[in-house]
Amino acid sequence: MKNIITLSILLSSLLCLGQSLPIDFEADITTENFIDFDGGTATVIDNPQMNGINTSAKVAQIVRDGGAIWAGSKIDLTSNLDFSTDNKLSMKVFTTAPIGTVVKFKLEGNGSDERDVVTTLSNEWEELTWDFTGVASDYNSVVFMFDFGNTGNGSEASTFLFDDINQIFGGSQIDLPVDFESEEIDYTLTDFEGNRSMLVQDPTDESNTVVQCSKTFDASPSAGTTIGTPSGFASNIPLTLENSKMTVRVWTPSAGIPVRLKVEDSNDPTHTCETETNSISAGWQTLEFDFINQAPGTELLSIGLQMGWTYNMASIFFNFATSGADDGGQLYYFDDVQFGGLASSIIDFEKLEIDVTPNPTQNDWTLSSNNDFINTIELYSTNGALLMTYNNVGYQFSIPSGHLEANIYIAKVRTEKGMGVVRLIKQ
């Protein structure tokens, strides 16, 4: 009896052995651990593409041949995945399918959750990541669905290699205000309907990180970018009828570009509110979005609040209502997403510790900062027209006034501390 019990325990431990992350297919996970479904066949094989970022001896392979458009395979784990700290899954993938092939990573257990990413390489190993920030610890199965949405035909393009499945820390959950500067925050962006966005260096200020957006040729008129993952912000956006504004600093190639901002509940996509404004100039500018002024055909903020809706996710749309083909691949940028209107985003100019001399003047104004680097200066007329923008200014800068008439002007000055406004008087 003792031997039987010992054998039973040994078999049980062998069946469970290695069925947890990370998974590298070198020893613990074998073909027998896969559960195939609907036309997908998974095996563990010798690595036929031992090059690039993956020179492992063993990898997994899924071949899709007929069946359903969601055909794939899965592995059951010994315990639930916990995304409270390590909020992303990463995996190395090799495919000869075209760039842009959808790879769906689905979690199953007490319900299900799933994320899609697209390949950016073909005929070469790449590491893809899926963001599960905010997902509950309810899942103990990982499901692999390659080329999701299409039916496989057993060809080389329907054969997928994958390896090194890891759970990683991708930064803490994004929250307002958003400036894209922290190395500890997950700034994953979620594009939809043919939009394409990425974190880039500000083309006008190399010290600043911003988001670049563009529409692909096939993009729909409502293509846009969610600022974060499908889990939304860490906190609800505290919209009320009295405090109904947000601001976003944007760069557009010309004035008159319609820019839409949408807020919604990440748990219920029918709970939304949208508003829209137009860019006032070419270049950088701060736009104010007032959700009291809802976009035509969208739900009133007052109705949503009456029904108890909350909003914890925001999406931005450049050149809204224009298709990708008509947009022509223009580039747009955005930064500094904040709750509150322009007035609430401006701090007392004296708190920026910037001196302006002389003021009034018949010549130039000199702005000097002892502590904070001045990122930008925007000079406006009193009727709101943007006259000049100065980027990457430094600690001291002279604003020329020789071409200006005697009048009052407004300077918006942005430093690492915030943004302030000062009146400049030309005599």
305, amino acid identity: L
pLDDT digits (tens, 9 = 90+) for 4-40: 434 443 444 444 444 789 999 998 899 999 999 999 9
Residue-number span of the structural domain to which 327 is assigned? 190-345
Q: Does 314 reside within a domain?
A: yes
Q: How far, in Å, CA of 238 to CA of 245, rounded?
A: 10
Give the domain-ending residue among 300, 322, 345. 345
pLDDT digits (tens, 9 = 90+) for 308-367: 999 999 999 999 999 999 999 999 999 999 998 776 666 666 677 888 899 898 889 999
* CATH code for position 274: 2.60.120
Q: How far, in Å, CA of 269 to CA of 271, rounded?
A: 5
Per-residue tens of pLDDT for the chain, all 427 residues: 444 434 443 444 444 444 789 999 998 899 999 999 999 999 999 999 999 999 999 999 999 999 999 999 999 999 999 998 899 999 999 999 999 999 999 999 999 999 999 999 999 999 999 989 888 899 999 999 999 999 999 999 999 999 999 999 888 889 999 999 998 898 989 999 999 999 999 998 888 999 999 999 999 999 999 999 888 999 999 999 988 999 999 999 998 999 999 999 998 999 999 999 999 888 988 899 999 999 999 999 999 999 999 999 999 999 999 999 999 999 999 999 999 877 666 666 667 788 889 989 888 999 988 778 888 888 877 666 678 888 888 889 999 988 889 888 888 888 877 777 788 888 8
Same domain, 286 and 377: no
Provide the percentage of residues in the chain whose pLDDT is more than 90.
66
Q: Does 4 reside within a domain?
A: no
Same domain, 357 and 332: no
Same domain, 203 and 76: no
Number of domains, the chain: 3
Write down the residue that tokens 């508003």 correspond to.
275
Same domain, 283 and 357: no
What per-residue confidence (pLDDT) applies to 16? 41
Please tell me whether residue 330 adopts helix, strand or coil conformation.
Answer: coil
The H or E element that residue 14 is part of is helix 2-16
Buried b (16+ CB within 10 A) or exposed e, 374-395: bbbbbbbeeeeebeebbbebee
Please tell me whether residue 348 adopts helix, strand or coil conformation.
Answer: coil
Tell me, rounded to whole angstroms, the distance of Cα 255 from its chain centroid: 25
Same domain, 276 and 412: no
What does the mean pLDDT of the chain come to? 90
How do 190-192 and 224-226 pair as beta strands? Answer: antiparallel
Same domain, 234 and 313: yes
Same domain, 332 and 358: no
Same domain, 222 and 340: yes
